[in-house]
Chain A
Amino acid sequence: MAELPRADGGAGDGPDHRTPIVEFRRVEKIYGEGESEVRALDGVDMRIERGEFVSIMGSSGSGKSTAMNMIGCLDVPTSGAYLFRGVNVCDLDQDQRALLRRHFIGFVFQGFNLLARTTALENVELPLIYRRVPAEERKRRALKALDLVGLSSRAGHTSAKLSGGQQQRVAIARALVTEPSLLLADEPTGNLDSARKVEIMELMVQLNREHGITVVMVTHEPDMAEYGTRTIVFRDGKIISGNR
C-alpha cells in the first residue's frame, strides 16, 4: 500500500502552514506531438493560499480544465513543477497522487457524476469507504454532510429521483464529507437554472468562510465568479490576470 506523501523537509508533522496550498512553477502541459501539438498550459506560474476562494475564467479551450486536473493531482505537468501543500506532485506515482486526493481534495464536477441507481447517502459515503471509516461513523458523517447541503430528507433517494440542483448538492456533500483542504469545482453551476446557481454558490461561500475550505472554481459566468475572493483569467494556456 502506498504511503501518504509528506512535504519535503517537513519534520514529519505536516507541511508549514505558510506554504501555499497550490503552487505552479512554469507549468507546461502539452497534448499530442508534432503537427497536432497543443499547449494546453504554457508556462503557468500560480499560487493559491489556504482559505482563498479563487474563480477561474477564460474562453473555451484556454486550459482551465487542464489546470484544474493538475491542481487536483489527476494529471502531472509535461514540464515545470507543481507543489501541492509543498509536495512536488511530479515526483509522485499514481497511487501516491490517489492518496493525496483521498485525504485533501474534494471534486465537484459539472456533470455531477453521481453513481447511478445509488442513493444520495451511499454516494456521499463513497469517499469515506476509501478512507476506511467504519460503517456507523460513515453514515453519521454522510448524513451530516447531506444536512449541510440541505438534503438530509433525501438521503434514501437515488440520483434519478433528484433534481439537477439536488444532484449537484449531493455531489458537493460527497466532496466535503471528508473535510478536504481543497474543494475543486469545474463549472459546478453549468447545468443549473439561476435560482439553483445562487443556492450552490452560497453553499460554496459558506464552506469557504465557515469551514475554512480553500475553493477553486471554474466558471464561464462573471456573476458566479463574483462570489470568489479573486478571479484568475486564462487565455491560450497562460494567465492574463488575477495572479499575485
Chain B
Amino acid sequence: MLWATLIMSLREVRKNALRSFLTMLGIMIGVGAVIAMVTIGEGATQKVRSDVGALGENMLVVSPGAARRGPERTAGNPFQKDDVEAIEREVTGIKALSPTAQSNTTVVVGNQNWPTSVIGVDEGYFEVRGYKIEMGRSFSEVEAASGTPVCIIGKTVRDNLFPGAMPMGQRIRVKQVSCLVVGLLASKGQAAMGGDQDDVVLMPLRAFQRRIAGNNNISSVYLQVEDAQATSSVQAQVEDLLRERRRIQPGAVDDFNVRNMQEIADTMSSVTASMTGLLGGIAAVSLLVGGIGIMNIMLVSVTERTREVGTRLAIGALASEVLLQFLVEAVVLALLGGILGILFGLSLSYAATQSLSLPFVISPGTVAGAFAFSAAVGVIFGYLPARKAARLNPIEALRHE
C-alpha cells in the first residue's frame, strides 16, 4: 500500500511539475545553504588544523618577553644553556626539544643575495618542526659540538641562490662567515599564519652563537609534547620552572611566554565552528520557510482536489489512507527538495572550496542529517493539510465545486 501510495504521489508531483518545483525551491535553498555552510566551514577547519599541524605537531614555543602583544611588550632576558638543561631535566612529557637562536639577514653566494632567516638549532629541532632532509645529511655530532660553520638550506633559499645547480658542497656567506652547505630540507610549504617555511637556513646552534651572534643567548626553545592531552600540563611545568629560575614574584607579569600551537589551532577552529553554527541557524530558518511553503501548497492542493478525495472515500479509501497519501506527497516534495538541495549545496561548496583552496570534505553525517531533516519538514508541515483531507465528509466532498 505504501509503495502504491508512493507511486501515486510521484505521479501527482509530476502532474504539477512547475508548481512542485517551486514548492521544493524553499527546502532546496535551505538544505543547500546548510550543506554549503557546513562543508565550507569543515574545509576551513581542516585547513587550519593541518596548517598548524604542519608548523609542528603538539608544539610549544618558549620565548623571552611578556605574552601580551602590542607596544608595551617587554623584551625580557634571553635564555641561557642552563635554562634549557633545566627544562630537559625537570619537565616530564617532552618528546623532543631544541634551543634556537635566530637572525634575519641576507645570505650571499657569488653575486646572488637572498634575505632569509638563519636559525641556529639542535638536532631536536628537525623533529619538533617536522623538517626532513631531502638531500645531503644532517649535522654531525662533532660539527654540532665544535661549532663548525655548516648549514642546511630550505627549498626557497636553494631556488634563489642556486637556481638549477646542486647546492651541496657549495659555500654561502652569512654575515662575514662562510658556511658549507651539507643538506637540503624537504619542502613544507606555506604555514598557517603566512610565512614560507622553506625560506630558512639552519646551522648548528653553537656555530650560530659563536660566529654570527657573538654571544651565548638562546632566543626561543621549541618543545614537542609526547601526547596532545599533556600539552597544557607541560606548558604549566615549563612556566613554573622558568618563573622560579627567573625569580618572578607571585602576581607579577612573566617576562617570557609559552605559545601553544594546539591552542591556536583550537581557537581558530572554534571560531570557524561558531561561524558554521550561526550560518547553520540562518539556514534552518530558511528550511522553516520552505516547510511553510509546502504546507501552503498542500492546503491549496487539498482544496483543489476535494472532489478527488470524495471520490476516493466513496470508492472505499479509509480516512487514514487519505491522510497517508497527502502526507507522503508532502514528504516526497520535501525529500526531492532536500536531495536537490544537497546536490546544490555540494556543488556550491565545491566551487567555493576550490576557489579558496580549501579541502573539499563531504560530511556524510551532515548529508544524512539534511535528508532526515527535510523528511521531517515534510511530515511536520504536511500533517495539517493531510488531516484536513482525511477529515472531509465524503458526501460534501463529492458535491464540492
Distance, CA A122 to CA B4, complexed state (A): 12
In Å, the complex CA distance between A131 and B1 comes to 9
Instruction: Report Cα–Cα, A99/B313, bound state, in Å.
Output: 10
Chain B proximity mask over A83-96: 1 for CB below 8 Å, otherwise 0: 00000000000110
Asked if A98 CB lies within 8 Å of chain B CBs, one says yes
Interface string of A212-223 (1 = CB under 8 A from B): 000000000000
**Closest residue of chain B to A171, judged by CB?**
B311
Q: Give the CA-CA distance A72 to B310 in the complex, in Å.
A: 13
A98/B313 in contact, CB under 8 A: yes
Q: In the complex, A99 Cα to B394 Cα: how many Å?
A: 14
Chain A, 122-139, CB within 8 A of any chain B CB: 122, 126-127, 129-132, 135
- Which listed residue, A75, A102, A113, touches B395 by the CB 8 Å rule? A75
Contact A98 B395 (CB under 8 A): no
Within 8 A of B (CB), among A95-126: 95, 98-103, 105, 107, 109, 111, 113, 115-118, 122, 126
CA distance A74 to B318 in the complex (A): 12
Which residues on the A side are within 8 Å of B311 (C-beta)?
109, 113, 115
Residues of B within 8 A of A69 (CB): 395
Q: Does B89 lie at the interface of the complex (its beta carbon under 8 Å from any beta carbon of A)?
A: no
Chain A residue contacts of B395, Cβ below 8 A: 69, 74-75
CB of A120 to closest CB in B, whole Å: 14
> In the assembled complex, which residues on chain A have CB atoms less than 8 Å from the CB atom of B310?
113
Contact of A101 among B1, B314, B321 (CB under 8 A): B314
* CB <8 Å contact, A74 and B314: yes
> Knowing A69-B395, A129-B4 touch, does A113 contact B317 (C-beta < 8 A)?
no
A74 touches B394 (CB 8 A): yes
Q: By the criterion CB–CB under 8 Å, are A95 and B314 in contact?
A: no
A195 within 8 A of B: no
What is the CA–CA distance of A136 and B316 in the complex, to the nearest angstrom? Answer: 21
Interface size on B, residues (CB 8 A): 22
- Specify the chain A residue showing the minimal Cβ separation from B314: A107
The CA of A132 and the CA of B312, in the complex, are separated in Å by: 14
The residue that A126 contacts in the complex, of B315, B320, B398, with Cβ under 8 A, is B315
In the assembled complex, the CB of B94 is this many whole angstroms from the nearest CB of chain A, namely 71
A102 to B391, CA, bound (A): 18
Nearest-CB distance from B337 to chain A (Å)?
Answer: 22
Q: Is A95 a contact partner of B15 (Cβ separation < 8 A)? A: no
Contact of A107 among B307, B315, B319 (CB under 8 A): B315
* Chain A, 1-30, CB within 8 A of any chain B CB: 1-2
Interface residues in B368-401 by Cβ distance below 8 A to A read 394-395, 398
A98, A113, A115: which contacts B398 (Cβ < 8 A)?
Answer: A113
Question: Which residues on A sit within 8 Å (CB–CB) of B314?
Answer: 72, 74, 101, 107, 109, 113
Interface residue B308 (Cβ < 8 Å from any Cβ of A): yes
A74 to B319, CA, bound (A): 13
Chain B residues lying within 8 Å of A109, measured Cβ to Cβ, are 311, 314, 398
**How far is A194 from B8 in the complex, measured between Cα atoms in Å?**
36
Q: Given A74-B394, A115-B308, answer yes or no on A102-B1 (Cβ-Cβ < 8 Å).
A: no
CA distance A118 to B394 in the complex (A): 21
Cross-chain contact B315 with A101 (CB below 8 angstroms): yes
Name the CB-closest residue of B to A138.
B4
Cβ–Cβ contact B394 & A130, under 8 A: no
Contacts of A130 in B (CB 8 A): 312, 315-317, 321
Residues of B within 8 A of A107 (CB): 314-315
Which one of B15, B310, B318 has the greatest number of beta carbons of chain A within 10 Å?
B318
Contact with A along B112-149 (1 / 0, CB 8 A): 00000000000000000000000000000000000000
The list of the 10 closest CB pairs from A to B, nearest first, reads: A102-B316, A101-B316, A113-B311, A127-B315, A117-B15, A129-B4, A107-B314, A98-B318, A95-B318, A74-B394
A-B contacts, 24 of them at CB < 8 A, read A1-B318, A69-B395, A72-B314, A74-B394, A74-B395, A95-B318, A95-B319, A98-B318, A100-B316, A101-B315, A102-B317, A109-B311, A113-B308, A113-B310, A113-B311, A113-B398, A126-B312, A127-B315, A127-B316, A129-B4, A130-B315, A130-B321, A131-B316, A135-B4
